[in-house]
Amino acid sequence: MTKMLSNLRIVLVEPAGPLNVGSVARVMKNMGLKKLVIVNPQCDVLSEEARKMAVHAADILEAATQVDNIPAALAGCERAAATTSRERGTATALSYPQECLPWLLEAPSALIFGPEDRGLSNDELKYAQRFIRIPSSEIYPSLNLAQAVGICCYELYQLARETTEKTAASEPSQAAPIEEMEGYYQHLEKVLLKIGYFYPHTAASRMEKFRILLNRAMPREAEIAMLRGILRQMEWALKVTGVEDGTARGSVPHQEP
């Protein structure tokens, strides 16, 4: 997930408010994003106000790249999407964040946000390949800069998390090697015979049931090591208590189920 998010940079064009810039840094860190690029800032992005709003994300502010224009901000990117609140006469239709953001996560990309007072102009939008509109109430559709960034960062984080989880679920589990499993089965049979859980003449049939159970579970190597550790501790306990071959002094052997 971290690798997917590391390919994406947040680009702020001419931000005017240090409080907004600090808030952007904070929400970026909340959602696992690290690359912040600021085009021609109209405020001191390292001011006390910005740091106060960033809280524990001052490192995002300090590492932010400041450039003079949008092309410089997009250097090294393969894809760029810009946010806008209304149609601007562009040939490309506006998309919702859920429709466009997955596309950005597939390659080195940038997500561009305009100034607080006017948004991105048509001239600035031309540098983007796709355009995003965050749906909001018609009564008051204009979002604060930091809020808009926060919504997109949240969506990016969720998309990256879901993709990572799906990938992990589809990958084959790192099951213990067959020789490790066989060693465990032999060890288990030895201990179960010793404690009288089953008898020698039924050991093979009983062990087959254990094999079916554990083969279905496909335990990992570390889990098999843990189970063998339990068996070794049982053997130690049997030794110190004088239990041998399924019988303790004065005890009755366990009967097989």
CA neighbor of 244 nearest in space, from 208, 195, 204, 206: 195
Contact 113, 149 (CB under 8 A): yes
Q: What type of residue is 81?
A: A
| Res 147: pLDDT | 96
**Structural domains of the chain, with CATH:** 2-170 (3.40.1280.10), 178-241 (1.10.8.590)
Determine the length of the chain: 257
Distance CA(175)–CA(179), nearest Å, equals 11
| Res 50: pLDDT | 97
pLDDT in tens, the chain (257 residues): 677 899 999 999 999 999 999 999 999 999 999 999 999 999 999 999 999 999 999 999 999 999 999 999 999 999 999 999 766 555 568 899 999 999 999 999 999 999 999 999 999 999 999 999 999 988 988 899 999 999 999 999 999 998 888 776 665 667 888 899 999 999 999 999 999 898 899 999 999 999 999 988 889 899 999 999 999 999 999 988 876 554 544 444 454 55
DSSP H helices, 11-87, are 18-30, 48-54, 58-63, 70-73
Distance CA(56)–CA(59), nearest Å, equals 8
Phi, psi of 108, deg, nearest 5: -60, 120
| Res 237: pLDDT | 92
Distance CA(234)–CA(243), nearest Å, equals 11
Distance CA(46)–CA(57), nearest Å, equals 12
Distance CA(239)–CA(241), nearest Å, equals 6
Distance CA(161)–CA(3), nearest Å, equals 11
Distance CA(36)–CA(111), nearest Å, equals 10
Distance CA(146)–CA(144), nearest Å, equals 6
Residues 6+ apart with CB under 8 A from 144: 20, 116
Distance CA(104)–CA(241), nearest Å, equals 65
CA neighbor of 249 nearest in space, from 241, 198, 192: 241
Distance CA(117)–CA(251), nearest Å, equals 86
CA neighbor of 153 nearest in space, from 33, 26, 58: 33
Distance CA(36)–CA(226), nearest Å, equals 45
CA neighbor of 153 nearest in space, from 167, 125, 132, 168: 132
| Radius of gyration (C-alpha) of the chain in whole angstroms | 31
- Residue 236: alpha-carbon gap to chain centroid: 42
